Amino acid sequence: MVSMLENVIKTYRRGIELNNYPKDFEELILKPQRILHVNIPIKTSKGLKVFEAYRVQHNNFLGPYKGGIRYYENVTLEDDIALAMIMTLKNSLNNLPYGGAKGAIKVNPKELSIEELEKLSREYIRAISIIIGKEIDIPAPDLGTNSQIMAWMIDELSKIEGFNSFATITSKPLELFGNPIREYATGYGVAFISKLIGEKILDGIENKRVSIQGFGNVGKWSAYWLEKFGAKVVAISDSSGTIYNENGLDIEEVEKIKMKTNKLTEYKDGKKIEDPNYSLYVDCDILIPAAIENVITLNNFNKIKAKIIVEAANNPTQYEAEKELLNKDVYIVPDILANSGGVIASYLEWIQNLNWYFWDEEKNKKELEKIMKNSFEKVFNKFEKENLRSLRDAAISLSLERLYKVAKIRGYI
């Protein structure tokens, strides 16, 4: 199995090759600028546990580091480096004044009590407080974390700094000046990008068949907004399996079932398939992998029937599998474009926190749409005009172009 970091490095090298950048730039851009690796001891009901944790700051050529914090028992330092590198590209592509970072704790949060989770979160932010700040590094949630965890972290950081440092962490609760769209921003962005690519390739999104792998926050909100846009969500999966209805699923009812039973397969109106990966192989117009990395591989790409893949998860498509899918004329909207709604909403929250001036939900949504539409148009136009192999090639090329120019101007190369 190709690791996520190997995949990301191949993607970077592809962009460097496309733009014919010198070896010096490759040496510079492939290495993280800073890695903080800590061990956090916590007394739990089962005795003392020591949790391994990281904060990777990959690159800050364009501004403060920006990236989420994930709580995941199988996370590795390699994964964290890869995710930080993806954030660098994502922020550059969307013309945000940020570099890329990522943080993680090796933990299954479901195995901790609320009190233990709060203690771990506060201790982690204390451990990384020496390298973060509103103009240095701005964390946010990721897999396994949420706005409540961000609230504990910002409270602890404010105690350390001696003042309310709200702009240092984003995706906070509304009561702590969070963004009113942040909860659904990533899923909304995925749906919005699906709508835009649908208009280019499918003559619109209305009544087009969509399959979604994963029904966490991103998958759930992607489904919700796609239904609002007129698409027909025919399949969704979670760890219990896949539910399928060729006439479309009732997303409101699906969410009720998930909330009540924690199993999508308890949904009655459709077929139930035990395999969670079946959602990848459904006959549909748009496939949205919204779960984890490396789900589309050389072992299963030939089962995919979708015309368009919109990457809601980070790095769901292996590099070699993408080449095979491109040979089948599949359009792949890369993660650094498709799932950028979350970091864009975080950016909007950050600038409002810095200025102590706040917008309502609709204003935030319109600003997000404006940024995402501009990024999409740049990518699609470059893809068409330069006859590039893929939308990813266009996106990576644009991201690295901005980073290369700034690196040169600042005197790094």
Q: Which residues are identified as catalytic?
A: 102
CA dist 364 and 87 (Å) reads: 21
Count the alpha carbons within 13 Å of 394 in the hemisphere toward its beta carbon. 23
CA dist 251 and 233 (Å) reads: 8
Tokens 């399959």 sit on residue:
211
To which H or E segment does residue 241 belong?
A: strand 241-244
- Position 90, amino acid: K
For residue 154, what are the CA distances in angstroms to 55, 103, 138, 196?
16, 15, 11, 36
> Would you mind telling me the total number of residues written for the chain in this entry?
413
Helices (H), 328-360: 335-338, 341-355
Of 338, 332, 282, the C-alpha closest to 313 is 338
For the residues of 70-88, what is the DSSP string, one character each?
A: EE-TT--HHHHHHHHHHHH
For residue 122, what are the CA distances in angstroms to 37, 135, 149, 171, 236?
16, 21, 9, 16, 35
CA dist 222 and 60 (Å) reads: 30
- Sheet with 34-44, edge to edge strand ranges: 34-44, 47-59, 99-105, 65-71, 137-141
Of 263, 268, 261, 280, the C-alpha closest to 212 is 280
What tokens appear for 343 in the block? Answer: 């970091």
> For residue 394, what is the DSSP state?
H
- Position 163, amino acid: F
Of 69, 73, 80, the C-alpha closest to 34 is 80
What tokens appear for 105 in the block? Answer: 């704790």
Are the beta carbons of 127 and 40 closer than 8 angstroms?
yes
For residue 242, what are the CA distances in angstroms to 23, 269, 274, 313?
46, 12, 6, 18
